[in-house]
Structure 1
Amino acid sequence: MEKINISSISYCKIILHAFKYPHCQIKGVLLGKNNSEGFIEVLDVIPALHSALVVPPIEILFIHLDVYCRERHLEIVGLYYANNVFMNNSFDEQWMKIASDKLQNPIILQLENSKLSLNAVSPCLRAYCQESSQKWKEINYFVENSDETVSLASLAVQNKLHKNLADFENHLDEPLIFDFFNSDLNEKILYSNN
């Protein structure tokens, strides 16, 4: 499992989640397809949390996502996170454990805060796959139309689309207001380039 392709929407939403909560550790779920040859497509992300990890909300989120994925012929292929300290690129051990316990052959995307910028020229992620129950290995990944996607993410932040992003934690606070699937945001990201 060493071929990972990340869609433009997925990359942009991870960046927007980080910009919305620059002072927080963010966490989210990767949705996509995992074919038999080990090629993983990350087609969308669901922003999950922006505060301390609490297991019950994550359990509730996974229940929602199981139904959502079944209806759309997707699967949960991994998790993403960003640390809350600028130069901290350490693993989030709790999040890695949830990935190991909940998912089969999960991938993890880590946002490198030190590379996060409106003037970024390349994607600012690190990708990992699980080698054993306790060991993770860094692997290569590809972002769909990489240069254009990095520019699109920057434009989305400049257009303040991060203010429209809702994570599952927001949804739990006010379920009638916040759509953690961010359906409208997906369209706004795609059309922010026009």
Structure 2
Amino acid sequence: MSKVSFSTLAYCKIVAHAAKYPHCEVNGLLIADAPAKGDKLVIIDSVPLFHQCLHVSPMSEIALMQIDQIANTCNMYIAGYYLANETLDDLSYDKPAHKIMDKIAEHETDICMVVINNRLMEINQKENALVVHKHEEGKWKRCSSVQIENGTLAAASAILQQQSYKSLIDYDNHLDNLSLDWFNTEFANLVQRTSGQDTGRMLTINKSIS
């Protein structure tokens, strides 16, 4: 089974999205460099989508098309989907998740689904809170080899402790105010300052198609 790794930026954005809306389900997309590198899927960025209605809708279709188009211009691709459930012990994937993953799988093969383990969403992050599944042999199987960069948990802890997650913008926020940057350039800068390391490549908005 191939390995999956997450950059500090991708991890912190996922955790911040869940922390900003602790009483809601949240979801988003995972971004990887194209082409994939060997037997490891490297998630370099994540894009927060919704915290209100996670079901497949015209808005989610539009978001998928926009992100796919922008990713292609950056030599990246949509490599998966993440979800945080409302209840503490729910690690399941719902039907909307599978529908979105089916759409992603129409174009890509090296992809994964992630559900956040709410039990590990502590203000002092001690363990990777992401439960990762990959599609292999026709089934979604939990991936036992999941890596995060050095310093990621410390950076995520600082963001939670300082409540910096409140500045994260998801697509729902963007729909309420189209001037908001749902690719979170400023939040990426915050992660870089907090972690003390370069956050690396990230998805950037092409103003002509945003």
Give the TM-score taking structure 2 as reference length: 0.85
Q: 1:21, 1:50 within 8 Å by CA — same for their partners in 2? A: yes
Q: 1:29, CA displacement in angstroms? A: 0.3
Give the 3 Å change call, closer, same or farther, for CA 156–124 of structure 1 in structure 2: same
Q: 1:17, CA displacement in angstroms? A: 0.3
Q: 2:80, 2:104 within 8 Å by CA — same for their partners in 1? A: no
Q: Distance in 2 between matches of 1:64 and 1:151?
A: 32
* Deviating more after overlay: 84-93 vs 71-80: 84-93
Q: 1:67, CA displacement in angstroms? A: 2.2
Q: Distance in 2 between matches of 1:188 and 1:36?
A: 28
Is 1:175 paired with 2:198?
no
Aligned residue number for residue 114 of structure 1: 119
User: Could you list the per-position Cα deviations for residues 74-115 of structure 1 after superposition, in whole angstroms to 9, with x for gaps in the alignment?
Assistant: 110001111011121122232122112333222011110011
Q: Distance in 1 between matches of 2:165 and 2:37?
A: 35
> Superposed, which structure 2 residues align to 1:161-172 within 5 Å?
161-172=164-175
Q: Distance in 1 between matches of 2:16 and 2:183?
A: 14
Q: Distance in 1 between matches of 2:92 and 2:140?
A: 12
Aligned residue number for residue 202 of structure 2: none
The amino acid across from 1:115 in the alignment is: L
Is 1:158 paired with 2:161?
yes
> Superposed, which structure 2 residues align to 1:42-81 within 5 Å?
42-54=43-55, 55-81=57-83
Q: Superposition RMSD on alpha carbons, in Å?
A: 1.6
Q: 1:159, 1:192 within 8 Å by CA — same for their partners in 2? A: no
Q: Distance in 2 between matches of 1:30 and 1:117?
A: 22
Give the 3 Å change call, closer, same or farther, for CA 189–38 of structure 1 in structure 2: same
Q: Distance in 2 between matches of 1:66 and 1:161?
A: 28
Q: Distance in 1 between matches of 2:142 and 2:95?
A: 15
Aligned residue number for residue 40 of structure 1: 41
Q: 1:144, CA displacement in angstroms? A: 1.3
Structure 2 residue matching 1:75: 3-state secondary structure: strand
Q: Distance in 1 between matches of 2:130 and 2:54?
A: 21
Unpaired segments of 5 or more residues in structure 1? Answer: none
Structure 1 residue matching 2:81: 3-state secondary structure: strand
Give the 3 Å change call, closer, same or farther, for CA 14–36 of structure 1 in structure 2: closer
Unpaired segments of 5 or more residues in structure 2? Answer: 197-210
Aligned residue number for residue 149 of structure 1: 152
Q: Distance in 1 between matches of 2:88 and 2:165?
A: 19
Aligned residue number for residue 13 of structure 1: 13
The amino acid across from 1:124 in the alignment is: A
The amino acid across from 2:15 in the alignment is: I
User: Could you list the per-position Cα deviations for residues 138-183 of structure 1 after superposition, in whole angstroms to 9, with x for gaps in the alignment?
Assistant: 01211111xx21111010122221111010111111112x211001
Q: 2:80, 2:113 within 8 Å by CA — same for their partners in 1? A: yes
Q: Distance in 1 between matches of 2:24 and 2:126?
A: 24
Q: Distance in 1 between matches of 2:125 and 2:41?
A: 25
